Amino acid sequence: MVNLWEMLLNFLFPSHCPLCHAYVEKKGGWCPACLTQALQPHRLPLSVPMRAFLADAWALGLYKDSLRDLIRHLKYQKQRSNLPYIASFLQAAAGEAQVKELLSGMDMAIAVPLYPAKEKQRGFNQAELIFGDFLTSQHIPMRRLLKRIRATRPMYELSEQERTENLKNAFAVTEAKALEGKNILLVDDILTTGATMAECARVLKAAGAKSVRGLVLASDHR
């Protein structure tokens, strides 16, 4: 009965590639050309101060060229219907050599946290929603061991000095003992300046984490 129902839904609402909108057989599927265009794992450039806390950071694709609408519709319009596209994208990424190397040896993943009021308003932390099930399938548990303890201004409109002040004392760990000697994968939806991820990594390292590596769904930094 379930298969018949799915067949009926697929007939009434055929699945389409999220980029070119061509017909695809499976819900959440991409056409091969668009998946190739979107899936571009690349190491992100980090400043010398950032490298003191972040071993390295990677993005799975480019933001403006392919993944922007998926992320924005989820983040700002709460369109969870985009999650199957993200899930299939992540499963394809798992087969890439760079991603396999990045995920190997990680003890746990931690999402860059939202301020509680913002998360309540949005209804979710988008980084957890994007990466949670995927990382569980890779045997990397997602833990909530980092919290944002005060609201901060949007980073894109600030100078480097203002970013530092904006993030000062903005994050705290919830259980330092659980971090001691652990290799942490710090995840977020996008990376713009990198300052927020670096500050989170600094707090995790100060609490005893052995290493912190970053992973975002998309970034235009190369």
Structural domains of the chain, with CATH: 40-218 (3.40.50)
Beta strands in 87-170 (DSSP E): 108-111, 146-148
The DSSP code for 65 is: I
Packing angle, helices 68-77 and 126-137, rounded to 10:
120
Question: Residue 2: what pLDDT?
Answer: 46
107 φ/ψ angles, rounded to the nearest 5 degrees? -85, -30
Q: Does the structure show a pLDDT above 50 at 112?
A: yes
Q: Which amino acid belongs to residue 93?
A: A
* pLDDT on residue 154: 78
**Pairing verdict, β 146-148 and 171-173:** antiparallel
d(CA 1, CA 11): 15
Report the percentage of the chain scoring pLDDT > 70: 94
pLDDT tens-digit map of 138-171: 999 999 999 999 988 877 777 878 888 889 899 9
pLDDT band at 41 (very low <50, low <70, confident <90, very high): very high
- Joined tokens for residue 193: 């300046």
- DSSP tag of 10: H
pLDDT digits (tens, 9 = 90+) for 163-214: 888 898 999 999 999 999 999 999 999 998 899 999 999 999 999 999 999 9
Asked if residues 27 and 77 have their Cβ atoms less than 8 Å apart, the reply is no
Predicted model pTM: 0.91
